[in-house]
Structure 1
Amino acid sequence: MVLRKFIISLNLAKTQLKDLSYGLENEKLNIFLTPEHGSFSAHDLTTQTSDFNYDLIITVDTPDLNSLGNLFHDNTEFFYQTTIINIDSAPNNEHFGQVNLVNFNLASTAETIMEFIEQIHPESLTPDVATSLYAALTVASKSFTSPQVTPLTLDKASRLVTMGARREEVVTHLFRTKKLPLLKLWGRVLARLKSDGSRKLVWSLLTPDDFIKAGAEEADLPGVVDELITGAVEAKTVVIIYERSPGTTLVYLHAGSGRRADELLKPFAPQGDQHTSRATITNCSVIEAEKKIIDHLRAAIPPLEQ
């Protein structure tokens, strides 16, 4: 993503430019300027940066700017100089935008977006948009089984169907169509599944070899987490511990009702929100990372009374 241009200006008051060429050498760009007569000097050159190519940022389901990770940290000037519309439904949102569309009383951000569109331009709620919002509602509510689902959520879902949302298409793509690599990876997760029933905690390990044998990619991990959440209905904390490379382990954690994923992973500098967060642990093996994470979670989550 190119946010702005770097501009090099050459003063041509003394002489015109006869030729311009450039070349790459040792990771440096050399620009060769040939004048019509005389010579150019360093005083003839000035540099500046252009305005940003974008004048608006829209964030969705983002509790704070730090949760955007490198996207924010590598472009802090852009974020601080550009208007932000912050759309969320989570109570831990820090209202960091110039415009904050944050409604804690709604079960999902999809509902916030739907209400906003209905207020400013209801004609935009075409069948395609209604289908997208219905899909977002379905995912966020775990097929409308989440404790956060309210009568308003169900009413919005019903109205989206009335607007032309293709419910069967959403169900087919979300639940009836699973890519073979994802299913293979899911099988490897189940083969190593562990649990702590007294804390309603389940977890599993994955290695790079698992991804190679399954033909899967790291981008498939959220889908695996969703499958584990759906399958482990009694679990309130679901963890996938993935060895990204030797000495580097990625941790995905989903927290159910009454628990916060970002708080549970707080000692490990997580990115994410109260529902799902991820963290990276370095300088240890995946087995050592597993022990570190699970020991911490067992200390942070009190056992349920039997």
Structure 2
Amino acid sequence: MMRRTVRLPLFHFRLLAMALTQTEQIKTQFEKAQRILITFSKNFNADAISGSLALFLFLKHLGKDVTILCEDFYRPKTLEFLPQIDKIMGKSDELSQFVISLDLTHTKVKEFSYDTEGERLRIFITPEDGEFTEADVEIKNQAHAAYDLIITIGTQDLESLGTFFDERAESFYETPILNIDNRSSNEGYGQINVLDLTAVSITEILYRLFKELDSSYMHKDLATLLLTGMITRTKSFKTSVVTPHALRVASELVEQGGAREEIVKNIYQSHSLNTLKLWGRVLARLKSRVDNQLVWSLISQEDFNLADASAENFEGMTDELIVSAPQARVIVLLFEKEDTGVIQVWIRAVKNVDALALAAQLGATGSRAFAEVTLDHTDLKTAEARVIRTLQEAMEKMVA
């Protein structure tokens, strides 16, 4: 069967939007699509991960062929408990396919088989009559599988997907995109954009969508994934973004099997001794400016070595500091990457502050909530002076 991806023109979607509600548009796309790609920013968070996995389960329930891919994905230790997390691929070349096509114009296939001999794969094809020739065979390496629908989760723009998008831009433009996010910085690049700025997490949006599409489908794993996104985005419902609606949704998810205690234990109560040692060094060096609204710390390679730890051990620390330091609006961690002469900078901001805009002069990537900067050929002190000066000036202009 010939496989081809057809992009419905934009005017078709506009006409469709006039006739159908957004949920009906999504339902139509789900019904039409068989092969679906779920993807999210390479600067991912737990909400994007758990939301993608929840959507994966829902679409598999609908009988769809679903792939999840995030460039350079790795499994954070605190999220290894999540159902189906092994389904997320981190390399786009895992989508590559080696395709052998056989022209059946002159004769049909009677039998097909294959075996392996040593390190070689042998394919045997018996024609019904006549014979196949080399001219009947076409061999090509298909760079990526063709999808009927692409769904982006928590991705403000397509460039945030990294080289996975850059190398396949044409395919993205030829395929309908369902864009789901809860941030105002989202560029609305999809043919269908589900953007709810009142939702505390992407999984809160997905919960509503799932109920509207199939209210009967809910089980422990799905409820746990949806609840994980809400808990991580609200720091276990401690932040000011929590709404009465979010609390009602969380309550319903717990009633439907969401493993709240397991989520909290894995994410907030499972820090290793090495992690705590590293956190101690970070806390001991905390500095602040702009009336304690800008808070930062430094981590040297020696700190990592003494604590027998890595950057992965303080992944949640910027979030913890935002919650624990109520005056802080921007949290910055600068650390040395092992034996590379590179300084990595993580910048976390509260909801009404744009971390990406603050660090734009530093070539930051990421989102409003979390930005990342890489500085080459420098040392920690020089990087600190440059980064903090830039952020301080930007924040003072913002206040003024």
What is the letter of the counterpart of residue 318 of structure 2? Answer: V
What is the letter of the counterpart of residue 142 of structure 2? Answer: S
2:232 counterpart residue number? 139
Choose which of 286, 289, 299 in structure 1 pairs with 2:380. Answer: 286
SS across alignment from 1:225: helix
Structure 1's 290 and 126: CA in aligned 2 closer, same or farther, altered over 3 A?
same
Instruction: Give yes or no for the alignment of 1:205 onto 2:298.
Output: yes
1:96 counterpart residue number? 189
SS across alignment from 1:274: coil
- Kindly provide the CA deviation profile for residues 40-85 of structure 1, in whole angstroms up to 9, marking residues without a partner as x: xxx9997644373251433221111122234433443443444432
Describe how 1:247-286 pairs up with structure 2 within 5 A: 247-286=341-380
What is the letter of the counterpart of residue 396 of structure 2? Answer: P
Is the CA contact 1:141–1:149 (under 8 Å) kept in the aligned structure 2? yes
TM-score by length of 1: 0.79
2:333 counterpart residue number? 240
Is the CA contact 1:198–1:303 (under 8 Å) kept in the aligned structure 2? no
- Kindly provide the CA deviation profile for residues 18-50 of structure 1, in whole angstroms up to 9, marking residues without a partner as x: xxxxx9xxxxxxxxxxxxxxxxxxx99976443
SS across alignment from 1:302: helix
| Superposition deviation, residue 234 in structure 1 | 2.2
Residues in 2 aligned to 1:135 and 1:253: alpha-carbon distance in whole angstroms? 23
| Superposition deviation, residue 9 in structure 1 | 8.4
What is the letter of the counterpart of residue 173 of structure 1? Answer: N
1:19 counterpart residue number? none
Structure 1's 174 and 146: CA in aligned 2 closer, same or farther, altered over 3 A?
same
Is the CA contact 2:95–2:145 (under 8 Å) kept in the aligned structure 1? yes
Structure 1's 155 and 44: CA in aligned 2 closer, same or farther, altered over 3 A?
closer
Residues in 2 aligned to 1:277 and 1:269: alpha-carbon distance in whole angstroms? 10
What is the letter of the counterpart of residue 262 of structure 1? Answer: L
Structure 1's 5 and 265: CA in aligned 2 closer, same or farther, altered over 3 A?
same
Residues in 1 aligned to 2:281 and 2:301: alpha-carbon distance in whole angstroms? 12
Is the CA contact 1:225–1:240 (under 8 Å) kept in the aligned structure 2? yes
Choose which of 115, 130, 144 in structure 1 pairs with 2:208. Answer: 115
Instruction: Give yes or no for the alignment of 1:183 onto 2:276.
Output: yes
Instruction: Give yes or no for the alignment of 1:157 onto 2:250.
Output: yes
What is the letter of the counterpart of residue 138 of structure 1? Answer: I
Residues in 1 aligned to 2:174 and 2:304: alpha-carbon distance in whole angstroms? 41
SS across alignment from 1:57: strand
RMSD of aligned residue pairs (Cα, Å): 2.9
Choose which of 295, 298, 301 in structure 1 pairs with 2:395. Answer: 301
- Kindly provide the CA deviation profile for residues 97-139 of structure 1, in whole angstroms up to 9, marking residues without a partner as x: 2332221222221211111111112233212211221121111
1:64 counterpart residue number? 157
Structure 1's 80 and 4: CA in aligned 2 closer, same or farther, altered over 3 A?
farther
| Superposition deviation, residue 168 in structure 1 | 1.9
Residues in 1 aligned to 2:101 and 2:230: alpha-carbon distance in whole angstroms? 51
Structure 1's 196 and 214: CA in aligned 2 closer, same or farther, altered over 3 A?
same
- Kindly provide the CA deviation profile for residues 231-263 of structure 1, in whole angstroms up to 9, marking residues without a partner as x: 323211100111224432111111114311111
| Superposition deviation, residue 271 in structure 1 | 2.0
In structure 2, list runs of 5 or more residues that go unmatched.
1-90, 104-118, 120-134
- Kindly provide the CA deviation profile for residues 187-231 of structure 1, in whole angstroms up to 9, marking residues without a partner as x: 121122111151511101112332233232333342222233233
What is the letter of the counterpart of residue 282 of structure 1? Answer: D
Instruction: Give yes or no for the alignment of 1:169 onto 2:262.
Output: yes
Structure 1's 164 and 297: CA in aligned 2 closer, same or farther, altered over 3 A?
same
Residues in 2 aligned to 1:288 and 1:140: alpha-carbon distance in whole angstroms? 33
Structure 1's 54 and 240: CA in aligned 2 closer, same or farther, altered over 3 A?
farther
In structure 1, list runs of 5 or more residues that go unmatched.
12-22, 24-42
1:231 counterpart residue number? 324
SS across alignment from 2:297: strand
Of the two, which has the highest radius of gyration?
1
What is the letter of the counterpart of residue 187 of structure 2? Answer: E
Instruction: Give yes or no for the alignment of 1:129 onto 2:222.
Output: yes
What is the letter of the counterpart of residue 139 of structure 1? Answer: T
Structure 1's 172 and 210: CA in aligned 2 closer, same or farther, altered over 3 A?
same
Choose which of 219, 227, 234 in structure 1 pairs with 2:312. Answer: 219
**Identity %, equivalent residues:** 35
Instruction: Give yes or no for the alignment of 1:5 onto 2:104.
Output: no
Choose which of 21, 31, 52 in structure 1 pairs with 2:144. Answer: 52
Choose which of 193, 196, 219 in structure 1 pairs with 2:286. Answer: 193
Residues in 1 aligned to 2:178 and 2:274: alpha-carbon distance in whole angstroms? 37
Is the CA contact 1:68–1:271 (under 8 Å) kept in the aligned structure 2? no
SS across alignment from 2:194: strand
SS across alignment from 2:211: helix
Is the CA contact 1:66–1:271 (under 8 Å) kept in the aligned structure 2? no
Matched positions, count: 276
What is the letter of the counterpart of residue 300 of structure 2? Answer: T
